[in-house]
Amino acid sequence: MGHRITGDRSKRGRKAGWEFLHVCVDGHSRLAYSEMLPDEKAASASCFLIRAVGQTSIKEWAYKRAYESSAEREEYLQPWIEQYNYRRPHSALNRKPPITRLENWEQRP
């Protein structure tokens, strides 16, 4: 057990408790995503953030259909982001799109 539980900093060892909790919390909706990883190096943290943000985009945009090329897939990115932010209902937001959480948002067609 670590010192945070025992209060004893005199005993040190790398046994249980040396994993790193990576946490991503959306500042406005307060939704959270977290993973336990073996380190806190830049590569691990970067990959974690990509996974935290990317799950929906992978499912709803990148792998939604077969694209002829990377350029074609890129063409579909901005329309997907617009749809996601302005029109897609989110269960965590009472079936409203994320843009409605902003105070001065404009309704888009």
- Indicate the pLDDT class of residue 15, thresholds 50, 70 and 90: low
pLDDT tens for 23-40 read 876 666 555 677 888 898
CB contact at 8 A, 66 and 76: no
pLDDT tens for 46-96 read 888 877 767 777 778 888 888 888 888 888 888 888 888 888 888 878 898
SS (H, E, C) 27-95: CCCCCEEEEEECCCCHHHHHHHHHHHHHHHHHHHHHCCCCCCCHHHHHHHHHHHHHHHHHHCCEHHHCC
